[in-house]
Amino acid sequence: MRNRHKFTFMFCCAVADMTAMIVATMLFLNFASQEEVGWNTLFLNKMIPITILSWLFSVTYFRLYRVDVLFSLEDFFANSWRAFLTQRILWCSYIYFFHDEKLYILGDRANLFQLSFLLFYFLLSRILFTLVIVKIKKWVVKRYTVAIWGFNKTSIELASHLETNSYFIHFMGILNENSSVNYETKDDFSVALSNAIHNASEENVSELYIVTKPDFISDLNYFFELGDKHCMRLKFVPDFSSISKKHFSASNFNNFHVILPRYEPLQNAYNRLTKRIFDIVFSLLVILFILSWLYPILAFLIKRQSKGPVLFKQMRTGKKNEPFWCYKFRSMYINVGDESQQAKKEDARITPIGKFIRRTSLDEMPQFFNVLIGDMSVVGPRPHMIKHTTDYNDHINNFMVRHFVKPGITGLAQVSGLRGETKKVSDMKRRVSTDIEYVQRWSLITDIKICFLTVVVTLKGDKNAF
């Protein structure tokens, strides 16, 4: 019953969105035919198929109609607008590249009417979808009854999740929430669980989550068979709260259940390929359109103010703790002071042009060659000197987690105000914590957002840049 309602709602959302896209394209074609523009008939005939394909690509990429996205309002709204924006970019790109009147068509009345219609539809439809999701629980006649047995930290978190997303189920809560019984032996636990399964069946519970410590379970098959006799689905959830405060990530490897300390999106080969393509395209654009003219200008100024090479290279720690040569525009006088010492405010080693390029982060620009080679990424944790990696690894737990991914030219820590000299270990701990957050929450949208914020921070001026 619950799946039927879920998929009916998903199907209605998908059909409504696709219909709106097609209607918007028909509006475009209607107004465009009235414009005094030399339209190609073959070009016009492809508009609706292009609309359908671009929208299907967008919703598939952002997984808009997945159950976990559709019934999480925050994710649903965010992914809806991401899919909408992606479809618009693809659709306008088709017009721009395959029609002669490029600038006129992108800003004409037909496009304006189409965009206005789509914006109105998406605003109205998302409000209506929200109202339906909130009210849908009252419309379901025979709801699927779910309960939890086992009172601990894990079961409380599970209960909160089920309660928040109980659109098609009737969640009864934690059955033994008010019980103060502590089970000291496996036999005591088995008797209590058997009675709980029997009592739950009398209350017409269809699905029972059993949250307990793994060492209490002696025979899973016995309890599964007992649940089958009562026509009840049993789901065992191991409670690790007593042995770790962290949230684990679980996955399956063939028939093996694997528990990981954290979720890492870049463990997925497709995500790594997506990030690598973004790195190559972005770095090539920067090298061709910025470094091609910026490099000779800065090279002239650097050489004019101090003797030495234009580029400064230093061994840094990369992915998997492997060292690589990191390139920068030289901003200091050569053979002055210790190269392993971090730059400080009013550092005497820095040249006049060096102060400017460090403040504006232009000294990092040659690292786009590192990105192209494959040693670095555009976005990621900043690479440290070998000595600093060794020193901080001895003082900060999980420090090396940031080296599970390629180091970046910019990163989440840098746009969060955690750039610059680290005078105390606590400063580095905050930076490492932010880097690990990036490792756990990576997405292409996050990378693009960080690149945009980097430009904003650079233009505004970062007090930690010196």
* Same-domain pairing of 353 and 429: yes
Is there a contact between 382 and 434 (Cβ–Cβ < 8 Å)?
no
HSE-up of residue 314 (Cα within 13 Å, Cβ side): 19
Residue 262 lies in a domain: no
CA dist 156 and 174 (Å) reads 8
| Residue 256 is assigned to a structural domain of this protein | no
Which of 52-56, 73-77, 134-138, 418-422 ranks highest by mean pLDDT? 52-56
Q: What is the pLDDT of residue 270?
A: 87
Share of the chain above pLDDT 70, in %: 84
465 within domain boundaries:
no
How many CB atoms are located within 10 Å of the residue 318 CB?
A: 21
The answer to whether residues 184 and 213 belong to one domain is: yes
Q: What is the pLDDT of residues 189-233, one digit of tens each?
A: 888 889 999 999 888 898 999 998 887 777 888 888 998 898 889
pLDDT of residue 292: 94
Q: Which of 93, 115, 139 is the last residue of a domain?
A: 139
Tokens of 172: 């009864």
**Among 75-79, 132-136, 190-194, which stretch is predicted with the lowest mean pLDDT?**
132-136
Question: Could you tell me if residue 162 is inside a domain?
Answer: yes
225 and 306 both lie in a single domain: no
Rounded to whole angstroms, the Cα distance separating 319 from 299 reads: 30
Has residue 254 been placed in a domain?
A: no
pLDDT of 61 above 80? yes
Residue 332 shares a structural domain with residue 399: yes
Domain end (from 102, 124, 139)? 139
Instruction: Dump pLDDT digits (tens) for 253-307.
Output: 777 777 778 889 998 888 999 999 999 999 999 999 999 999 999 999 998 888 8
Mean pLDDT of the chain: 83
Task: Specify whether 308 is located in the same domain as 354.
Answer: yes
Tell me: pLDDT of 241 over 80. Answer: no
* Nearest one of 227, 214, 24, 213 to 115, comparing CA atoms: 24
The more confident residue out of 419 and 315 is 315
Final residue before a domain boundary, out of 89, 123, 139: 139
> Which CATH number belongs to the domain containing residue 163 in this structure?
3.40.50.2300
Does residue 253 fall inside a structural domain? no
Q: Which residue has the higher pLDDT, 308 or 177?
A: 308
**Each residue's pLDDT tens digit, 4-49:** 667 777 888 899 999 999 998 888 877 776 665 555 554 566 788 8
Domain count, the chain: 3
Whole domain around residue 190: which residue ranges?
Answer: 144-245
pLDDT band at residue 1, thresholds of 50, 70 and 90?
very low
Q: Are residues 231 and 96 in the same domain?
A: no
What lies within 8 Å, CB to CB, of 2 at 6+ separation is: 140, 143, 144, 168, 169
Q: Is 79 part of any domain?
A: yes
Same domain for 134 and 171, yes or no, is no
Residue 313 has pLDDT above 70, yes or no: yes
Alpha-carbon span 326 to 314, nearest angstrom: 5
pLDDT band at 137 (very low <50, low <70, confident <90, very high): low
pLDDT, position 101: 54
With respect to residue 227, please indicate whether it lies within any of the assigned structural domains.
yes
**Are 97 and 181 in the same domain?**
no
Residues 186, 320, single domain; the answer is: no
Confidence of residue 466 (pLDDT cuts 50, 70, 90): very low
239 & 386 share domain? no
What confidence tens digit (pLDDT) does each residue in 95-123 have? 777 665 544 454 567 778 888 899 999 99
Q: 280 with 191, same domain?
A: no
Neighbour count for residue 370 (Cβ, 10 Å): 26
Whole-prediction pTM value?
0.66
111 and 151 assigned to the same domain: no
Residue tagged 């007090």 (tokens):
463
pLDDT in tens, 364-399: 999 999 999 999 999 999 999 898 888 888 888 889
